[in-house]
């Protein structure tokens, strides 16, 4: 089965995130988001099935395990921790595994933001563990924790930091996973409906707090063939699409033209060892496109879609005006990504504060 989608290339990702500090917060889905991002800034390749399934390993594609994972006890409890970091000469990407959107552990992460290096990009989601592992009546607790998290996150980060809240992806009718311990297996049939309700609350609150929202539940409603057999996780093609959506939105927020030509993918070829684009069959080879900041090259605009995001329609206008050398995207190019009401200035504090004595992948700071 072939599928058409827009994909960001390795060159575009590497240039767009040059001298940027990116933080990914969340569960195992977000960990795969982190892994695909780390892979894409280094090479034109998909994640393998083994890489998608692994957790807590000492190293992945030249990153390092900073805390938790196999350095401690591997388990499926709510206290499981895993902090990973990839550092190169011009990229810094960090991942925190969290099982609850607001907790003592999350407060310690926010303290890192207050007193440490300020991230340029934050991709965050926490939902499935929140609504299944802590309380049968999860609604009030989840809402209150979201309020606390967004309050403190807004206070801990500078206004220029771009925060994207990812709505939880569709769950299957029959699910199994690390979070679904025997004690809560009876919740499995109802959980996919609870996720829809939780997405509504979290998306609305994130918008109210000025965060950007990427509706992955909507984006993947017709891509269920990319979901794994456990009904929870997703394959490498799905994660490349997530990465592309996130980077396309970051580029637009920073006023960078990021043309992504349509690419045809054969998802049946996504197996244990993923082929690189250079070795892929002809029909899977993406067109070459480079990151342009002057607007001289640009992909043809797609037809205006008939469906529009209800949050952006009713609440969110994107009023950012980039520098004169940038040509902003047309509003309908990203109809399912809500935009913040605040300008996101293109800045890079990472290069000014990065200590010279940290070697390649050498430190956590």
Give the Å distances, CA to CA, from 40 to 15, 33, 60, 86, 260: 11, 11, 13, 12, 15
pLDDT at 354: 39
**Residue 348 banded pLDDT, cuts 50, 70, 90:** very low
Q: What pLDDT does 265 receive?
A: 66
Average pLDDT over residues 99-125: 96
pLDDT of residue 314: 32
Measure the N-to-C terminal CA separation of the chain; round to a whole number of Å. 45
Dist. CA 66–CA 51, nearest whole Å: 18
Q: Is pLDDT larger for residue 346 or for residue 109? A: 109
Report the distance separating Cα 203 and Cα 338, nearest Å.
9
Whole-angstrom Cα distance, residue 53 to residue 235?
10
| Helical spans, DSSP H, in 44-161 | 49-53, 104-115, 128-132, 139-156
Contact between 212 and 254 (Cβ < 8 Å): no
CATH topology of domain 2-353: Rossmann fold (3.40.50)
CA–CA distance, 61 with 39 (Å, rounded to integer): 7
The domains of the chain are located at: 2-353
Q: What is the pLDDT of the chain when averaged over all its residues?
A: 78
**pLDDT interval class at 179 (50, 70, 90):** confident
Q: Is a pLDDT exceeding 70 seen at residue 300?
A: no
Residue 337 · residue 249 · CB < 8 Å: yes
> So what's the pLDDT on residue 136?
81
pLDDT above 90: residue 89: yes
What pLDDT score was predicted for residue 187? 79
Half-sphere exposure of 213 (CA within 13 A, CB side): 28
- pLDDT at residue 270 in the model: 52
What mean pLDDT comes out for the span 12-41? Answer: 97
Q: How confident is the model at residue 362 (pLDDT cuts 50, 70, 90)?
A: very low
Using CA atoms, how far apart are residues 11 and 15, in angstroms rounded to an integer?
6
Res. 137 pLDDT band, cuts 50 70 90: confident
Distance CA 120, CA 157 (A): 9
- By C-alpha distance, which of 241, 210, 253, 215 is closest to 344? 253
Q: What is the pLDDT of residue 44?
A: 93
How high is the pLDDT of residue 338? 47
Strands (E), 139-244: 162-166, 212-214
pLDDT at 78 over 60: yes
d(CA 131, CA 142): 7
The backbone region for 361, taken as left when phi is positive above 0, alpha when psi lies in -120 to 50, beta otherwise, is left
CA atoms of 343 and 118, how far apart (whole Å):
17
Mapped onto helix, strand or coil, the DSSP state of residue 238 is helix
- pLDDT tens column, 229-286: 999 999 999 999 999 999 999 999 999 988 876 776 665 545 444 433 333 333 333 3
CB 35 within 8 A of CB 61: yes
CA dihedral 214, 216, 217, 218 (to 10 degrees): 70
CB 243 within 8 Å of CB 258: no
Percent of the chain with pLDDT over 90: 60
- Confidence grade of residue 290 (pLDDT, cut at 50, 70, 90): very low
How much is the pTM?
Answer: 0.75
């Amino acid at each position: 089965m072939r599928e058409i989608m827009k994909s960001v290339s390795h060159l575009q990702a590497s240039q767009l995130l040059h001298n940027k500090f990116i933080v990914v917060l969340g569960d195992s889905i977000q960990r795969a988001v982190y892994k695909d991002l780390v892979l894409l800034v280094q090479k034109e390749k998909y994640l393998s099935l083994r890489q998608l399934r692994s957790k807590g390993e000492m190293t992945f594609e030249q990153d390092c395990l900073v805390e938790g994972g196999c350095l401690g006890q591997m388990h499926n409890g709510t206290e499981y921790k895993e902090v990973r970091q990839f550092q190169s000469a011009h990229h810094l990407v960090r991942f925190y595994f969290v099982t609850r959107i607001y907790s003592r552990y999350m407060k310690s992460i926010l303290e890192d933001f207050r007193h440490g290096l300020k991230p340029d990009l934050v991709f965050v989601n926490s939902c499935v563990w929140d609504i299944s592992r802590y309380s049968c009546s999860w609604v009030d607790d989840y809402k209150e924790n979201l309020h606390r998290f967004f309050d403190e996150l807004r206070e801990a980060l500078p206004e220029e930091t771009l925060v994207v809240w990812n709505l939880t992806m569709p769950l299957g009718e029959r699910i199994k996973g690390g979070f679904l311990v025997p004690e809560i297996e009876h919740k499995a049939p109802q959980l996919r409906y609870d996720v829809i309700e939780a997405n509504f609350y979290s998306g609305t609150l994130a918008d109210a707090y000025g965060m950007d929202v990427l509706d992955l539940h909507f984006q993947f409603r017709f891509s269920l063939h990319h979901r794994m057999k456990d009904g929870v996780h997703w394959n490498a093609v799905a994660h490349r699409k997530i990465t592309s959506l996130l980077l396309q939105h970051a580029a637009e927020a920073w006023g960078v033209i990021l043309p992504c030509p349509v690419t045809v993918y054969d998802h049946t070829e996504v197996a244990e060892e993923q082929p690189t684009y250079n070795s892929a069959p002809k029909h899977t080879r993406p067109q070459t496109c480079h990151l342009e900041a002057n607007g001289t090259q640009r992909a043809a605009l797609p037809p205006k879609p008939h469906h529009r995001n209800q949050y952006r329609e009713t609440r969110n206008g994107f009023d950012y005006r980039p520098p004169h050398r940038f040509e902003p995207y047309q509003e309908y190019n990203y109809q399912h990504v809500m935009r913040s009401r605040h300008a996101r200035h293109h800045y890079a504090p990472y290069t000014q504060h990065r200590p010279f004595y940290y070697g390649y992948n050498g430190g956590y700071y």
